[in-house]
């Protein structure tokens, strides 16, 4: 049985008629067309579907969309400025080659924003520990860590 829900995503309001069992990831990609949030494992083990819900990183593949009513959802598409200027963390990933195939990048960037906000003095060790739930198939971790450190300085 479907129900009507309203979601606040990237500052926009969406009124949706969906089944309660649908995940936020499914709704973002199929109903709203925000495909930057990647569908990779669907098990909560890779981190590619990380979004910010009320400014905290959450795995969209494990979150039911109906549980997000009244919450602020931000996806990778919502962090750049309206004029197209990249978020400092996005710039850092670009400038420090923190991406290869791109599947992990949205989740890495969203997690990195949270890491930068929660740690005033980041070290490589802290970044590696905090990114533990985000997997890179290309094994680009060295450059990802450099990007997170640089992005944190510019935030």
Closest C-alpha to 111, from 83, 147, 67: 147
**In the structure, what pLDDT confidence band is assigned to residue 98 with cuts at 50, 70 and 90?**
very high
The percentage of residues in the chain with a pLDDT greater than 90, rounded to a whole number, is: 88
pTM for this model (two decimals): 0.93
Reported as type and span, the H/E element at residue 136 is none
Q: Is 56 helix (H, G, I), strand (E, B) or coil?
A: strand
Q: Indicate if the pLDDT at residue 139 is higher than 90.
A: no
Measure the CA–CA gap between 36 and 23, rounded to whole angstroms.
16
Q: CA 80, 8, 58 angle in degrees (round to 5)?
A: 75
**In the structure, what pLDDT confidence band is assigned to residue 69 with cuts at 50, 70 and 90?**
very high
Measure the CA–CA gap between 145 and 54, rounded to whole angstroms.
25
Please report where in the chains the tokens 């997997």 appear, as a residue: 135
């Amino acid at each position: 049985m479907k129900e009507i829900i309203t979601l606040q995503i990237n500052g926009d309001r969406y009124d949706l008629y969906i089944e309660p069992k649908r995940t936020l990831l499914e709704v973002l990609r199929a109903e709203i067309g925000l495909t930057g949030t990647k569908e990779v494992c669907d098990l909560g083990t890779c981190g590619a579907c990380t979004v910010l819900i009320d400014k905290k990183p959450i795995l969209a593949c494990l979150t039911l969309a109906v549980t997000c009513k009244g919450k602020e959802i931000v996806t990778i598409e919502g962090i750049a400025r309206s004029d197209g200027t990249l978020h400092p963390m996005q710039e850092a990933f670009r400038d420090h080659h923190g991406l290869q195939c791109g599947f992990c990048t949205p989740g890495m960037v969203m997690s990195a924003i949270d890491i930068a906000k929660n740690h005033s003095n980041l070290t490589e060790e802290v970044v590696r520990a905090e990114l533990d739930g985000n997997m890179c198939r290309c094994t680009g971790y060295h450059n990802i860590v450099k990007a997170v450190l640089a992005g944190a300085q510019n935030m």
